[in-house]
Amino acid sequence: MKTQLKLSMAVLAACFSFSAAAADAAKSMRGLDVAAPDPVAAEKSYVGKRPGTQQPVARTFSTQPPVIPHAVENFDEINLETNQCLDCHGAANYQKKKAPKVGDSHFVNRDGQKLDEASAGRHNCVQCHVPQVDAPPLVDSDFKGEPYVKKTDAATAAAAKKTKKN
């Protein structure tokens, strides 16, 4: 019994000294002391200007929600009564506003039914589409997805792929 107690004390002591050593060696990825609070990041303004004057930003993979190339200040109100994004991008107005229509997938509800207007499930546009700032990426990524093929070229691209395989 006595030796068993001694042994468990020794194991406990070993654990403590090990964790103390680990704590000494810990290096935070933020480059700050582990316990130090995060400094507030400097606010950056969006790079986009008035809609209608921007070039769309190239998509990096086929299912990527395109990023917002234009400014969103003053017309990003999205609530129960209004959605200013849809004022330009919705099926009813996009032609008049010379804006790209919301994606085809936005007109299908979660039960797979086709709708005339964008599905309520897509109401919060900025949940997926984000405006741009000029900032270095916080973490590197070498992710490579299926390349994006513009809708009109899809058939051509599929044909090209088929020919390549043969």
Segment interacting with ligand HEC (CB under 6 A) among 9-17, 23-31, 34-42, 83-91: 83-91
SS3 content of the chain, % helix, strand, coil (to 5): 35, 5, 60
CA–CA distance, 30 with 37 (Å, rounded to integer): 10
Q: At 37, which helix (H) or strand (E)? A: none
| Residue number, 7 or 128, with CB nearest to ligand HEC | 128
Q: Which is nearer to ligand HEC, 31 or 112 (CB)?
A: 112
- Residues 126, 123: Cα–Cα separation, whole Å: 9
Stretch that binds ligand HEC, among 3-11, 21-29, 93-101, 152-160 (CB under 6 A): 93-101
3-state secondary structure of 66: coil
Q: Which residue is nearest to ligand HEC (CB)?
A: 103
Shortest separation between residue 66's beta carbon and ligand HEC, angstroms: 3
Are 126 and 78 a contacting pair, CB within 8 Å?
yes
| Interface characters, 113-142, with ligand HEC (x: CB under 6 A) | -----x---xxxxxxxx-------------
Count of residues making up the chain = 166
CB of 147 to ligand HEC, least distance (A): 14
Distance (Å, rounded) from C-alpha 120 to C-alpha 83?
11
Of the candidate spans 11-19, 29-37, 92-100, 134-142, the one that interacts with ligand HEC by CB under 6 A turns out to be 92-100
Nearer to ligand HEC, 7 or 154 (CB): 154
Q: Considering beta carbons, is residue 109 or 129 the nearer one to ligand HEC?
A: 129
- In sign, the C-alpha dihedral spanning 54, 59, 62, 65 is negative
